[in-house]
Amino acid sequence: MCEDYEDSVMGLPLIGDKFPDMEVVTSHGKMRLPKDVEGKWMILFSHPGDFTPTCTTEFIAFANRAAEFEKLNTALVGLSIDQVFSHIKWVEWIEENMKVKIPFPIIADHGSVATQLGMIHPNKASNTVRAVFIVDPKAIIRLIIYYPQEIGRSVNEVVRALKALQFCDEYDLATPENWPDNEFLKDKAILHPARDYKTAMERKKGIGKDCYDWWFCTKKV
């Protein structure tokens, strides 16, 4: 069985790959992904199961940031290996008991999507781990994060990573640890490494101001 699983996940999508086309059933009806979110960023995130405490806290957090994701031109899509009526009932329970409306669709997967995207890790049970895929408007996978079932995600980190990706695309820069709140560089960005001797020597002139060395230069945007 393990060998069969390994064979089935050969060629899993990786960062930089195009997100695979798929038709899915969700709590909002059928969807074609990534076609139905064309022109937007998409965050697809899996959870181990409906009616579980940690997953409930995550969905509340995603829902509370939904307006911010919308401003960032980003569609949220959840997923677990539960039937669609379970998703609907769980969403209803959250709204009635936690007073939070879940505005985004949740994929009702029978395992095919989760297997295709590497969301099932056999040594961590048969349900989905807490995966996060950030996909850009060109349907390219830009970030993948996996959390085990026992650890709840930080939605703040998902927002931060999304903003960093959008920033890097807009300005053709890189970002430091925990940007824009890095302890050392604060909200400064980082220039891509010099790719030729002339550029390296030019950057060396900026040591003490914007550069720490020719390979480590920053920029305030």
- Is 55 among the residues known to form the active site? yes
Report DSSP state, residue 210: T
Distance of CA 109 to the CA centre of its chain: 19
How far, in Å, CA of 106 to CA of 164, rounded? Answer: 25
Rounded to the nearest angstrom, the gap between the alpha carbon of residue 80 and the centroid of all alpha carbons in its chain is 16
Which of these is catalytic: 2, 55, 168, 211? Answer: 55
| Catalytically active residues, by annotation | 55
